[in-house]
Amino acid sequence: MVSRIAIIGAGWYGCHIGLSLKLLGFDVTIFEQHARPLHEASGNNQFRLHLGFHYPRHHQTRVQSRDGFMRFMERYPYLSREVAENIYAVPSVESLIDFPTYRLIMTSSGIDYREVLAASVPVIEVMGLIQTGERVLLIEQARRYFAGQLAGSLVLGHHVGSIEHEPGCVRVEGMPFDLLVDASWGQQSALPAGFFYEPTILLYYETRGETSGATDQPFPAITLVDGPLCSVYPTEDPSIYTLSSVPHTPLGVATDPARARRVRDSVSSDLVQAKRLAMEAQISRYLPGFRQSFRFVGPQLAIKTKPVGSFDDRSCSVIRRGRVFQVMSGKIDTIFFAMERILSFIEASQTDAVVPLQSPLRQDIIDRGMITHAL
């Protein structure tokens, strides 16, 4: 029987899976190398609670996001907030798909939106715009929530260096566990085939006072899709936004995590300045008022673990190797999918499979001689 479960990593995945297993009565220990949960990718991203609008080229990612969003709202209602005006716009020239196709894909995926003629700030060179219900994640609230709920199960400031496989258990740092969940987003075990690391840079900006035209409403979230485009998105701090760019956010490709960390940790101020110029130039093509509305604050550096491919697969998968589950997360809304896969593996291992030796089906077929009416 499974009772003791170790988890490596207290990102969104390790925290959610750990809390769910704990509430089900398992004895859970979560090892996190940093002094607080959600310190790496989970605390350094665009903080968008996706609904699927970002992924017109990948069906499974859209469907996982759509369903994950609903479940996130049910389970963690206080860990995200509404974005009053959340616009997706399809550029006339640079998008990989046209606006009618984009709309059709979202409609056929059952993702709700409202078409709008304009945003509250000028957005130019676009074929069409929609208003969506995507939200912003409240990261500090989430840190406090998980730190409180997981008290007694979280081992912070502890880098896991030793994993030993034995017939009856898996030893993590010398302690025996029935199962191990590797929620390090590919930092701990070898990456599955077809994945790579991508060190990234996003830029933080603060608003320059009144930002949205004649009104005092907050600057909208604007995301340009689909392809090598860019977006400006709010954070939990109403005056701070992130600027992200498909061509300029990646800092390279790495096949081992140590190299990805070296690239992330050696970003120079010259590189930040070059990225800033390139990203501001790109967003200003569509949002001509960007520089008047925002002041640069600083970079955000992180590492993504991504599958190879140009159709933008960000779906979540869980791989089982013996007593170890490796979680390959794409985005935050798919935490529920990962948990369900793990639970399903655990349930299967707790039940004996019933395999009938010979089919008794013939005994259930009515004897033709017993039937009195004509067939």
Ligand X SMILES: Cc1cc2nc3c(=O)[nH]c(=O)nc-3n(C[C@H](O)[C@H](O)[C@H](O)COP(=O)(O)OP(=O)(O)OC[C@H]3O[C@@H](n4cnc5c(N)ncnc54)[C@H](O)[C@@H]3O)c2cc1C
| DSSP letter assigned to residue 267 | -
Least gap, CB of 47 to ligand X (angstroms): 6
Least gap, CB of 217 to ligand X (angstroms): 22
Tell me how far apart the terminal alpha carbons of the chain are, to the nearest angstrom: 53
134, HSE (Cβ side, Cα atoms, 13 Å): 28
Nearest to ligand X of 104, 271 (CB atom): 271
One-letter amino acid identity for 269?
A: S
Least gap, CB of 20 to ligand X (angstroms): 14
Give contact residues for ligand X (rule: CB under 6 A): 8-14, 31-34, 39-42, 45-48, 50, 159-160, 183-185, 187-188, 200, 202, 249, 302, 304, 329-333
Least gap, CB of 91 to ligand X (angstroms): 20
Q: Are strands 179-182 and 221-224 parallel, antiparallel or unpaired?
A: unpaired
Least gap, CB of 233 to ligand X (angstroms): 7
Nearest to ligand X of 35, 365 (CB atom): 35
Q: Which residue is nearest to ligand X (CB)?
A: 11
Cβ pair 33, 173 in contact under 8 A: no
Partnered with residue 48 across adjacent β-strands are 136
Q: How far lies 289's CA from each of 211, 218, 348, in Å?
A: 9, 14, 56
Nearest to ligand X of 11, 234 (CB atom): 11
Q: Rounded to whole angstroms, how far apart are CA atoms 339 and 84?
A: 31
Nearest to ligand X of 243, 302 (CB atom): 302
Nearest to ligand X of 40, 85 (CB atom): 40
Cβ pair 162, 176 in contact under 8 A: no
Least gap, CB of 298 to ligand X (angstroms): 14
Nearest to ligand X of 127, 246 (CB atom): 246
Nearest to ligand X of 86, 188 (CB atom): 188
Cβ pair 155, 32 in contact under 8 A: yes
- SS3 category, 294: strand
Nearest to ligand X of 175, 348 (CB atom): 175
What φ, ψ does residue 79 adopt, rounded to 5°?
-100, 15
What φ, ψ does residue 259 adopt, rounded to 5°?
-65, -40
The torsion defined by the Cα of 203, 204, 209 and 211, in degrees rounded to 10, comes to 50
Least gap, CB of 34 to ligand X (angstroms): 5
Report, in this order, helix, strand and coil percent for the chain, each rounded to 5.
Answer: 30, 30, 40
Cβ pair 338, 204 in contact under 8 A: no
Least gap, CB of 92 to ligand X (angstroms): 25
